[in-house]
Amino acid sequence: MSVKKILVIDDEEHFCRALKKGLEMKSTFKVLTATRGEEGMRLAGIEKPDLILLDIMMPGMAGTEMAEELSENPVTSSIPIIFVTAIVKEDEVRKRSGVSGGRTFVAKPVKIDELIKKMNAVLPHA
């Protein structure tokens, strides 16, 4: 089984560290983190992760804008994105099966096991 590279882009440094630790402890993922949108965009282009976990509400550039830019860039357009956000509640996510506007969402606080299931569902299987 190949190790999948995951990029977490979230302005909350503590959240990034906790998510990285949780994912790496419970899976074979290699997790990279970025706490600023520009840094996340740069890392996505350089590292070409298998999946991006992206916060929606961030200073400077909203996650939705970043997702748009990533999907328009030929280098990053095929990378699946899961929004990890506090602006949608868990019951909303459940009601919509975790999808809104064609995008996959996970509500904060994140349950690592549920997140890994969603990640495995959208990750390209090689």
Total domains present in the chain = 1
Q: Identify whether 124 is preceded by a cis peptide bond (ω within 30 of 0).
A: no
pLDDT at residue 11 is higher than 70: yes
pLDDT digits (tens, 9 = 90+) for 26-78: 999 999 999 999 999 999 999 999 999 999 888 888 898 999 999 999 999 99
CB environment 73-112: b (16+ within 10 A), e (fewer): eeebeebebbbbbeebeeeebeeeebeeeebbbbbbebee
Going by C-alpha positions, the residue among 108, 111, 101, 126 that lies closest to residue 51 is 126
Residue 103's pLDDT is 76
pTM above 0.85, yes or no: yes
**Rounded Cα gap, residues 81 and 73, in angstroms:** 14
CATH number of the domain enclosing 79: 3.40.50.2300
User: Comparing C-alpha atoms, which of 89, 78, 73, 58 is closest to residue 122?
Assistant: 78
Q: How far apart are CA 38 and CA 31, in angstroms?
A: 18
* pLDDT of 61: 85
Which residue range forms the structural domain that includes residue 73? 5-122
